[in-house]
A and B are shown apart, each in its own frame.
Chain A
Amino acid sequence: MPLAALAQNEARTAEAAEAPVVPDTTGVRAFLMSRGSGSVADSVFGVLMLVGALSLFVIVALIVWMLVHNSQLSIHAFGMRFFRSTNWDPVNGDFGALPFIYGTIVSSLLALVIAVPLSLAVAIFVLEICPIPLRGAISFLTELLAAIPSIVYGLWAVFVLVPLVRDKFGPILEKLLGWTGLFVEPNFGVGVFTAALILAVMIFPVISSISRDVMRAVPNHQREAALALGSTRWEMIRMGVLRNARIGIIGAIILGLGRALGETMAVTMVIGNHPDISKNLFNPAYTLSSVIANEFSEATGDLYLSALIEIGLALFLVTIVVNAVARLLVWVVTRGNTAKAV
């Protein structure tokens, strides 16, 4: 394909050069003579750009190769037991990743439960309800929220959110929901719940901005039709917008999930880093990315390192699948529509 395009453009170039002489082309001709036909430069340039494009494949191949190759030791030693065993014992060289998988999934899902309704509400507000002058300001603030680095969220969570959960939210939750067994003292402030809270703040901009894009791609005549039938604004949003955009919104939510699964620093700082599987959300836990962050540079022995890299491989594969599914869903909805419906 690129070669075809090149050839086509060269043909165009040649045609232009041999066009009937018009008085003003002397300058152009001189330029062309000084540059030659440009065909060599053109192919070199085309190849360079292709190399740049292929570098993305190289990066993916490199990631896969490095992760698979360097985790062989652990894959052979433990097999599938690696993902079922709860034993993480560097001293005796026995490694099982189940507590980390549990911690990752629970904290990410809880973050989604908190973030999704809020994100959608904000997306609806910005797109359908808020006065136009305010719209830019709110999307700007959302962008700022996305620009804050993970480490700064973590710092804030350690010094502000942890005491808040320990002394304020915790007792209230325990009183209201203690009977479910999800919120049981002792509550030290660090644990799954705090991690999920900070994760929710971090994935909100992702879900909100992408679902806003998806909703914006819904053609205006859908809204007009709903309003013309006498619906209220909410009915218009529900039937005209949300219904048409639902696949893309699910995509946005899955993208948020992908972000939450891989989030490292802020979670590491507040989740407590203890490989425990417990129903109690006040309990400290551990996630896939946190165990890598905490133990990788101190891992002694090849098997230990290999086990950590296998965790990285699992994390990579899960996020790749999650992201691919999400991108496909978003793509299905916005394809060709975004440009028209701004």
Chain B
Amino acid sequence: MGSSLNAPSRFRNGARTLTDRLVTGIAVFSTILVLLPLVAILGYLIYKGASSLNLAFFTKVPVPVGQSGGGMANSIVGSGIILLVASVIGIPLGIAAGVYLAEYGPGSWLGHVIRFTADVLNGVPSIVMGIVAYSLIVSKQHHFSALAGGIALAIMMVPTVTRTTEEMLATVPTALREAALGLGIPQWRTIVSVSLRAASPGIITGCMLAFARVAGETAPLLFTAFGNQFWSLNLNQPMAALPLQLYTYAVSPYDEWHRLAWAGALVLILLIMISVTLVRLFAARNSLAGGR
């Protein structure tokens, strides 16, 4: 800091301005450079994927190599089922934990420890969740199952949902709670009908983000749901999932399968992008309402 406080000479000023310009240039250039892959990925996806999308893609099951046609209907439905299982288990647990953090223990040591656990759990590699679900279910039953996949994804959803629920509940003014409690409404009813309701748009946002995050997960499903080339709606059996099918096709040596992989990737990413964008619109509307 010292040297820059000296009386600036003309030359020094010039050098300083030059550095400033240079850094600004670097920052602009870096931003463009970083956003380039995004444009490249999306552009390539649309270019490659759109040409392979047709009705059969959404209505047929995969066909063996060499035959043309076929689709990913079973993978799309399978992904839906696995994600449903994950949401049914993960979202209530996450919301309950978030409510506990925000309403019962915001300042307590238990609250801090739980919050920290959630943050750290968020960084555990997804493949580890796959091993856990495998050990918990698959190795006991001696066969792969969609349920194990759903549980692996559920475990991944809990910390995300917990933290967003807590953050959203923290934005609800205390006066609202006090007003409800002052009317003699029991605390549980206050939380359900006042706090949670006031924070609901934000909490829904968090749940959808958690959903979008696990929707594309492949690693935890590799040895839990395992994948399936045929229709299977049985939770206790191997089930196809969009990311798994994508992986199978992507690493295969066949052009026809590569084409389907691109189409699958486009569908997957559209589903995720639509939910993320909806969430953003939703959140923006909410913040406007809150700012009134």
**A residues neighboring B (CB under 8 Å):** 1-2, 5-6, 9-10, 12-13, 16-17, 28, 31-32, 35, 37-39, 41-42, 44-46, 48-57, 59-60, 62-63, 66-67, 69-70, 117-119, 121-122, 124-126, 129-130, 138, 140-141, 143-145, 147-156, 158-160, 201, 204, 208, 229-235, 237, 239, 255, 258-259, 261-265, 269, 289, 292-293, 296-297, 309, 312, 315-316, 319-320, 322-324, 326-327
Taking CB atoms, residues of chain B closer than 8 Å to A259 are: 123
Partner of B100, one of A49, A158, A262: A49
Known: A53-B97, A269-B251. A16 touches B123 (CB 8 A): no
Taking CB atoms, residues of chain B closer than 8 Å to A155 are: 246, 250, 261-262, 265
Kindly state whether residue B95 has any CB partner on chain A within 8 Å: yes
A52–B99 CB distance below 8 A: yes
A121–B246 CB distance below 8 A: no
Name the residue in B121, B128, B226 with the highest tally of chain A Cβ atoms < 10 Å from its Cβ.
Answer: B128
Kindly state whether residue B28 has any CB partner on chain A within 8 Å: yes
Partner of A55, one of B27, B158, B184, B218: B158
Partner of B27, one of A124, A147, A154, A292: A124
Kindly state whether residue B30 has any CB partner on chain A within 8 Å: yes
Kindly state whether residue B197 has any CB partner on chain A within 8 Å: no
B187–A66 CB distance below 8 A: no
B20–A262 CB distance below 8 A: no
CA distance A67 to B129 in the complex (A): 10
A153–B269 CB distance below 8 A: no
A269–B250 CB distance below 8 A: yes
Determine the main DSSP class of A at the interface with B.
helix
B250–A154 CB distance below 8 A: yes
**B residues neighboring A (CB under 8 Å):** 1, 4-5, 8, 16-17, 19-20, 23-24, 26-31, 33-35, 37-38, 40-41, 44-45, 48, 92-101, 103-105, 108-111, 114, 116-132, 134-136, 139, 144, 155, 158-159, 162, 181-189, 191, 212-213, 215-219, 222-223, 226, 243, 246-247, 250-251, 258, 261-262, 265, 268-269, 272-273, 276, 280
CA distance A141 to B36 in the complex (A): 11
Known: A13-B181, A234-B24, A261-B125. A118 touches B158 (CB 8 A): no
23 contacts between A and B (CB under 8 A): A2-B110, A39-B186, A45-B187, A52-B92, A59-B158, A121-B31, A122-B27, A141-B38, A147-B212, A149-B217, A150-B217, A150-B218, A151-B216, A151-B243, A152-B216, A154-B250, A204-B34, A232-B17, A239-B1, A263-B125, A264-B125, A264-B218, A269-B247
Taking CB atoms, residues of chain B closer than 8 Å to A44 are: 188
CA distance A232 to B15 in the complex (A): 11
Determine the main DSSP class of B at the interface with A.
helix
B28–A232 CB distance below 8 A: no
Partner of B128, one of A63, A144, A152: A63
Known: A9-B181, A66-B135, A118-B33. A289 touches B125 (CB 8 A): yes
Taking CB atoms, residues of chain B closer than 8 Å to A124 are: 27
B26–A121 CB distance below 8 A: yes
Partner of B30, one of A59, A121, A151, A160: A121
Q: Chain A residue with minimal CB distance to B119?
A: A327
Q: Chain B residue with minimal CB distance to A43?
A: B188
How many pairs of residues, A versus B, come closer than 8 Å at their CB atoms?
A: 310
Q: Chain A residue with minimal CB distance to B155?
A: A59
Taking CB atoms, residues of chain B closer than 8 Å to A231 are: 4
Known: A55-B158, A59-B121, A323-B120. A46 touches B219 (CB 8 A): no
Known: A16-B183, A63-B128, A155-B261. A255 touches B191 (CB 8 A): no
B123–A41 CB distance below 8 A: no
B162–A45 CB distance below 8 A: no
Known pairs A1-B111, A262-B124; list 19 more (Cβ under 8 Å): A2-B105, A16-B182, A41-B188, A42-B188, A45-B191, A46-B187, A70-B131, A141-B35, A144-B273, A147-B213, A149-B215, A151-B268, A153-B41, A156-B41, A239-B4, A261-B125, A262-B128, A264-B219, A327-B119
